[in-house]
Amino acid sequence: MDFSLTDTQQMTRATVRDFVEREIIPTSARYDESEEFPEAWAKKMGELGLFGIFVPPEYGGSGLDSVCYAITIEELSRGDASAAVIAAVCNGLACEPILRFGTEDQRREFLVPLAKGEWIGAYALTEPGSGSDAAALRTTARLEGDEWVLDGTKAFVSNGSQARVVIAYARTGEKKHDISAFLVPADAKGFTVSKKESKMGIRASDTVNLSFDGLRIPKGSLLGEMNRGFAIAMSTLDGGRIGIAAQALGIAQRALEESLKYAKQREAFGHRIAEFEGIQWKLADMATEIDAARLLMYRAARRKDLGMRHTYESSVAKLFASEAAHRAVDAAVQIHGGYGFVKDYVVEKLYRDQRVTEIYEGTSEVQRLVISRSVLGK
């Protein structure tokens, strides 16, 4: 087995890391404090081709593989997890389903500007009354002549107030899984941003409620087949979860780097704290779990690139990486002592940013459901 990265994958890491050091890290605390959407980051990420990483060049993308995608999200998250979310949603939750399920016309109209970074995209599955049980959604879509009419409210939509197009899921039949996917332009009449969330972490990422009030879109806005939207939503998450694993990993990696730096300079009892076994073991556990999480993430990404089913591998990577990151940020705050609890040190922010990786794109409980179904052969 070859665990080395290709030249392109190494170059992707170096390019994104350089961008993060220069443009993200210096302004990260400011955006965290103000909860403002970082337009400057989004513009630059789009220009660098970071919104259409695995989209083929004929549709305006960078034509790289999913391992490059995972590396990009990890590196962005090492700088600021909000930057990683903005890019992950554009790539994994907006470009991916249009590339896989869109018609040629839909790809030209929606995928090309998204992949080129000219537009921001969003994915609206969750509703105020349904999250883990996504198929219980209540937004409806009915065909009236040549138009679909959508009514309902979507919750927790990342990039929601910034997006030019939202992939929204709505009920189109009587049965629980009679759900369809739609390409909804944000300038459609009846589209409103009805609430902006104020969050514990990833505060620079945009999280909003969207209301569709008699929203009319052309008949050709259906993405994929009618009543097949739930399968589109779930298979989109198979890829999306690789992105969340990468996001968690970037946070954990930064927590380790900051802890190493601090432990080598902070003194107690006449020694650097890095000389204490109690601190060394924490660092060793962080490094070990980060390595394991990264290999799980690469495995899932590689299987996706080979066109193999990767539902199980993505869930395992997301579950392990997010929980390893939880342990890593906790250890990082502990290693920093009182300074880990104040905003002068970035570990305080890492501690808050990590938490959502165990919640979105399927909570840890939902990942365990997916994994147990697979191991039980259900």
Ligand X SMILES: Cc1cc2nc3c(=O)[nH]c(=O)nc-3n(C[C@H](O)[C@H](O)[C@H](O)COP(=O)(O)OP(=O)(O)OC[C@H]3O[C@@H](n4cnc5c(N)ncnc54)[C@H](O)[C@@H]3O)c2cc1C
Check: CB of residue 193 under 8 Å from CB of residue 208.
yes
What's the rounded Cα separation, in Å, for the pair 60 and 327?
39
Burial class (CB in 10 A: 0-12, 13-18, 19+), 154: buried
Q: Which listed residue (58, 258, 361, 365) is catalytic?
A: 361
Provide, rounded to whole angstroms, the least separation between the CB of residue 87 and ligand X. 13
Provide, rounded to whole angstroms, the least separation between the CB of residue 31 and ligand X. 15
Provide, rounded to whole angstroms, the least separation between the CB of residue 26 and ligand X. 24
**Is 74 an annotated catalytic residue?**
no
Nearer Cβ to ligand X (292/369): 369
Contacts of 107 (CB under 8 A, 6+ apart): 59, 98, 99
Nearer Cβ to ligand X (196/272): 196
Place of tokens 């990483």: 53
Check: CB of residue 86 under 8 Å from CB of residue 24.
no
- Ranked by CB distance to ligand X, the top (closest) residue is 131
Provide, rounded to whole angstroms, the least separation between the CB of residue 201 and ligand X. 8
Provide, rounded to whole angstroms, the least separation between the CB of residue 327 and ligand X. 19
Q: Which residues of 285-316 are buried (b: 16+ CB within 10 A; e: fewer)?
A: ebeebbeebbebbbbbbbbbbeeeebbbbbbb
Q: Which residues bind ligand X (CB under 6 A)?
A: 89, 123-126, 131-132, 156-158, 199, 207, 356, 359-363, 365-366, 369
168 to each of 65, 103, 172, 178, 228, how far by Cα in Å? 26, 17, 12, 14, 13
What's the rounded Cα separation, in Å, for the pair 136 and 177?
8
Nearer Cβ to ligand X (13/199): 199
Nearer Cβ to ligand X (9/82): 82
Check: CB of residue 190 under 8 Å from CB of residue 117.
no
Nearer Cβ to ligand X (53/181): 181
Catalytic residue numbers read: 361
